[in-house]
Amino acid sequence: MKRNLLIALWFTLVTTVMFGVVYPLAITGLAQVLFPSQANGQLIKQNGKIVGSRIVGQSFTEPGYFHSRPSSAGTGYDPTSSSGSNLGPTNKLLIERVRSDVQKLQAENPHVPIPVDLVTASGSGLDPDISPAAAEFQIPRVAHSRGMKEDEVRIVVRKHTKDRDLEFLGEPRVHVLELNLELDALHPLR
Amino acid sequence: MTANGWFQIGLYLFVIALVTKPMGVFMKRAFNREKTFLDPILRPIEKLVYRLTGVDERREMRWTEYAIAMLLFSGVSMALLYIIERTQRWLPFNPQKFANVEPALAFGTAASFTTNTNWQAYSGESTMSYLTQMAGLAYHNFASAAVGIVLAIVVIRGIARKETDKLGNFWVDTTRCLLWVLLPVCLIGSLVLVSQGVVQNLKPYTTAELIQPYAAQVTGADAKGSAQTVTQQVIAQGPVASQEVIKEFGTNGGGFFNANSAHPFENPTPFSNFFEMVLIFAIPSGLTYTLGRMTGSQRHGWAVWAAMAFLFLAGVTTAYWAEAKGNPLLAGTDQHAGALQSGGNMEGKEVRFGIANSALFTTVTTDASCGAVNSTHDSYTPLGGMVPLINIMLGEVVFGGVGAGLYGIFVFVVLAVFIAGLMVGRTPEYLGKKIESYDVKMAMLAVLILTFTILTFSAISVVKPYGTSSISNPGPHGLSQILYAYVSSTGNNGSAFGGLIPNTMWYNTTTAVAQLLGRFFMIIPVLAIAGSLAKKKTVPKSAGTFPVTGGLFAGLLVSTIVIVGALTFFPALSLGPILEHLLMNAGKAF
């Protein structure tokens, strides 16, 4: 018992140093050398300022931008408090939230059913993507507010649509932040 | 449901079948201390560990000493984690200057990570310093996984050895598990994850200037809402990849961030998602092969694997079907799957994963006692959410946690063999060992402790205000939330119906107690059976021996698991998810 207790103490210390300090620091060093962009969050810089991460979503509310999905992370897309809504399927709060979003969207693009991902919050609250259906739904609004032709916008959307990984893994998706940045570059809002 | 979705699910099971043999053979060699290709690098490190810690690597232990060593190691390492959490303010690698963790939360978290549960009542990105994440939480991902695996190895030795009371040396097994089994895969795997976009740095959080500032309602300290313009986005960083890989490979499941594997920095692409799911099942599936190899009956190993694969497919089919059907209460939305969207119930799911990969991940993480999530289980449809609940209720024996899955299914194997013995009126035998009353009693004890813990705590919580006040989804879903909390804690899973507010005195304490009971009062009876089996003589096979290979045995094993689980939990399930399903289809909301 006493012998094993002593071993337990030393064993905890030795393995903590090995697996809790040396291992993560070694991986950090390797990652910084081999994949510097990915290891630091794929930050996007514009005019010397960081404007976001390529893989973390942001809130867009103005009509000239493609909108992201609803978010439950903090006040919306806050990476310091990532979270889903955790609302259950029969919770009135969920049903009311979706109903009110559906009404707003129907006003801007009547007679088209709303792609479900556009009115549901993601699990992380940081989803960088919308489905191609959700992008298609928003094209008339964005084109109109930017004074662009719908087909011009559609070309940019296509460019930022990613197919399934290796053609079969996951789902096709449209990257909202990159898409909006490119629209700004092509056809500035103001 | 789409053909592509089914293809991905099928491919996943195929890959798991492929890794089973190499993993199994390698683990057998590592624990039998046979030569492996990694010896030239790892053997010197191993010897150094023994020299520093005073371990005599030739000495073997009886099951009681093995259990004591395991408990001492768990106790000491749990205390160290508690100390790190309580002092993180004064320790290095804390760029966000997080305060020391509060005592109740620190205790709950320490218990949770020591027991391989990784139930989280905190948000990592706003609570834990980088040092706490690395040396505290990620370290325990290694340690608790190793403890689970070596216990499974001891059980296998108990079956394979005869007329001995020696089952191996806990310190040697644990060291070899850490160095040979866990470390090499984690070194390569974490870099694979970084290549996909999982972050790995020690920098302070990054501030981004938004290209379109927006107005948001902010609730101030005085609980009054006020409109505020948000102009920046603070992006959390950290040494994530090194923790992410062992989170899955050791079936721990504790996310670096609150959103766990739904977070783009933990699980950025469908490829990383697939890779993480393979990591979760790699060891548990491999251990069935190790079982076959070490006991000299490979066909028994595959029979156990087949029983597990059957239950896995049943779960994933149900979850995928329920989630793809969607939520009938969301009027005006298009939930049909098509070329442009995956459709279905997308609340709580990421676009890049869609329905198929969310349902698959959820099934995998709860079949194994992992508990990592890539979508929020609380927002699943009632039947979709019932799948993870049932998976954990069955004892997480469908591949199961690393080691825990194997010694969990061992309990059911003992019961199945016993039931078969009763049916034909012979003393049950298992791989040449007679199963006697002591063994069956211990097996039943392991089953009953889980049931007792889950149902008692849930029953108290649904009638007391300190239990019900944490419910966030009213109606039958509230019962599911509470039930899930104790099922997940006792089963050492760690996933949650995350709406339940867990950071209260009642839930912090009782979930911690449930985790400790579920871990150690499961392990001790199992070790006792292993010790008892090792002492026995081998009886030669006869015509009356019930075969533990082939379809008949696999079928009996599946039935035993399902009957024990169903008899225990069906009443609770019918009042929770099943009732909610009926009400949802009747158009009722709460």
Could you read off the pLDDT of B329-348 as tens digits, one per residue?
999 999 999 999 999 999 99
Predicted confidence (pLDDT) per residue in A18-51, tens digit: 999 999 999 999 999 999 999 999 999 998 999 9
Contact yes or no for A24 and B138 at CB 8 A: yes
Cβ within 8 Å of residue B220, ≥6 positions away = B226
Predicted confidence (pLDDT) per residue in B390-413, tens digit: 999 998 999 999 999 999 999 999
Q: What integer pLDDT is reported at residue B427 of this predicted model?
A: 84
Model ipTM over 0.90? yes
Identify all chain A residues contacting B354, using CB atoms and an 8 Å cutoff. 170-171
Which of B370, B315, B358 minimizes the C-alpha distance to B558? B315
- Among the ranges given (A36-40, A137-141, B542-546), the one the predictor scored with the smallest mean pLDDT: B542-546
| Whether B267 contacts B245, CB under 8 Å | no
Contact yes or no for A136 and B340 at CB 8 A: yes
Q: Where are the alpha helices (DSSP H) in B326-436?
A: 354-367, 382-393, 404-424
Identify all chain B residues contacting A52, using CB atoms and an 8 Å cutoff. 208, 210-211, 233, 235
- Tokens of residue A84, six digits: 């889903």
Predicted confidence (pLDDT) per residue in B446-460, tens digit: 999 999 999 999 999
Average pLDDT for B109-137: 94
pLDDT cut 90: percent of chain B above it: 89
Question: Sorting pLDDT into bands at 50, 70 and 90, what band is A1?
Answer: confident
Q: What integer pLDDT is reported at residue B256 of this predicted model?
A: 96
**A/B interface, count of CB pairs below 8 Å:** 417
| Candidates B78, B172, B342, B352, partner chain A, best to mutate (most A CBs within 10 A) | B352
Q: Which residue of A has its CA nearest to B73?
A: A8
Please determine, for residue B542, whether its predicted confidence score (pLDDT) is greater than 90: no
Average pLDDT for A61-85: 94
Question: Sorting pLDDT into bands at 50, 70 and 90, what band is B26?
Answer: very high
Angle at which helix B39-53 crosses helix A2-15, to 10 degrees, equals 130
Please determine, for residue B112, whether its predicted confidence score (pLDDT) is greater than 80: yes
Q: CA–CA separation, B17 vs B27, rounded Å?
A: 16
Considering only the beta carbons, identify the residue of A31, A79, A91 that sits closest to B477: A91
Question: Sorting pLDDT into bands at 50, 70 and 90, what band is B349?
Answer: very high
Query: How many other β-carbons are positioned within 10 Å of the β-carbon of residue B95?
Result: 14
Predicted confidence (pLDDT) per residue in B252-291, tens digit: 999 999 999 999 999 999 999 999 999 999 999 999 999 9
Quote the minimal CA–CA distance from A84 to chain B in Å: 6
CA distances from B347 to A72, A118, B330, B528 (A): 11, 10, 10, 46
Please determine, for residue B221, whether its predicted confidence score (pLDDT) is greater than 80: no
Question: Sorting pLDDT into bands at 50, 70 and 90, what band is B366?
Answer: very high
Q: CA–CA separation, B201 vs B197, rounded Å?
A: 12
Contact yes or no for B338 and A133 at CB 8 A: yes
Q: CA–CA separation, B467 vs B143, rounded Å?
A: 32
Q: CA–CA separation, B393 vs B391, rounded Å?
A: 6
Interface membership of B214 toward A (CB under 8 Å): yes
- Chain B residues 477-496 with a CB less than 8 Å from chain A: 477, 480-481
Q: What integer pLDDT is reported at residue A190 of this predicted model?
A: 61
Q: Looking at the DSSP assignment, which residues form a beta bridge with residue B232?
A: B209
| DSSP assignments along B87-145, one per residue | HGGGSSS-TT-PPPPPHHHHHHHHHHHHTT----SS-HHHH--HHIIIIIIIHHHHHHH
Q: Which residue of B has its CA nearest to A164?
A: B270
| Candidates A13, A82, A103, A177, partner chain B, best to mutate (most B CBs within 10 A) | A82
Considering only the beta carbons, identify the residue of B212, B265, B344 that sits closest to A62: B212
Burial (CB < 10 A; 0-12, 13-18, 19+), residue B91, is: middle
Average pLDDT for B412-435: 90
Interface membership of B247 toward A (CB under 8 Å): no
- Chain B residues 57-86 with a CB less than 8 Å from chain A: 65, 68-69, 72-73, 75-77, 80
- Would the pTM count as exceeding 0.80? yes
Amino acid present at B356: A
Angle at which helix B382-393 crosses helix B298-325, to 10 degrees, equals 160
Q: CA–CA separation, A98 vs B347, rounded Å?
A: 10
User: pLDDT averaged over chain B?
Assistant: 94
Average pLDDT for B6-35: 97
Interface membership of B265 toward A (CB under 8 Å): yes
Please determine, for residue B224, whether its predicted confidence score (pLDDT) is greater than 80: no
Quote the minimal CA–CA distance from A183 to chain B in Å: 12
Please determine, for residue B249, whether its predicted confidence score (pLDDT) is greater than 70: yes
Q: CA–CA separation, B30 vs B175, rounded Å?
A: 10
Per domain, the residue ranges of chain A are 1-40, 41-186
Q: CA–CA separation, B164 vs B162, rounded Å?
A: 6
Identify all chain A residues contacting B85, using CB atoms and an 8 Å cutoff. none
* CA B501 to chain CA centroid, nearest Å: 21
Query: How many other β-carbons are positioned within 10 Å of the β-carbon of residue A190?
Result: 4
Considering only the beta carbons, identify the residue of B197, B236, B584 that sits closest to A38: B197
Q: What integer pLDDT is reported at residue B399 of this predicted model?
A: 94
Quote the minimal CA–CA distance from B112 to chain A in Å: 17
Quote the minimal CA–CA distance from A61 to chain B in Å: 7
Please determine, for residue B218, whether its predicted confidence score (pLDDT) is greater than 90: no
Q: CA–CA separation, B489 vs B506, rounded Å?
A: 14
Cβ within 8 Å of residue A172, ≥6 positions away = A131, A132, A161, A162, A163, A164, B340
Quote the minimal CA–CA distance from A175 to chain B in Å: 10
CA distances from A178 to A39, A156, B73, B351 (A): 19, 10, 49, 16
Q: CA–CA separation, A81 vs B130, rounded Å?
A: 16
| Whether B19 contacts B286, CB under 8 Å | yes
Q: What integer pLDDT is reported at residue B574 of this predicted model?
A: 96
Identify all chain B residues contacting A113, using CB atoms and an 8 Å cutoff. 332-334
Rg (CA), chain A: 22
Average pLDDT for B557-586: 94
Question: Sorting pLDDT into bands at 50, 70 and 90, what band is B220?
Answer: low
3-state secondary structure chain A: CHHHHHHHHHHHHHHHHHHHHHHHHHHHHHHHHHCHHHHCCCEEEECCEEEEECCCCCCCCCCCCCCCCCCCCCCCCCCCCCCCCCCCCCCHHHHHHHHHHHHHHHHHCCCCCEEHHHHCCCCCCCCCEECHHHHHHHHHHHHHHHCCCHHHHHHHHHHCEECCECCCECCCEEEHHHHHHHHHHHCCCC
Identify all chain B residues contacting A23, using CB atoms and an 8 Å cutoff. 183, 186-187, 242
Identify all chain B residues contacting A80, using CB atoms and an 8 Å cutoff. 125-126, 205, 234, 236
Strands A173-175 and A161-162 come out as antiparallel
Strands A173-175 and B225-235 come out as unpaired
Please determine, for residue B307, whether its predicted confidence score (pLDDT) is greater than 80: yes
Contact yes or no for B217 and A75 at CB 8 A: yes
Q: At residue B178, what are phi and psi to the nearest 5 degrees?
A: -60, -45
Identify all chain A residues contacting B273, using CB atoms and an 8 Å cutoff. 169-170
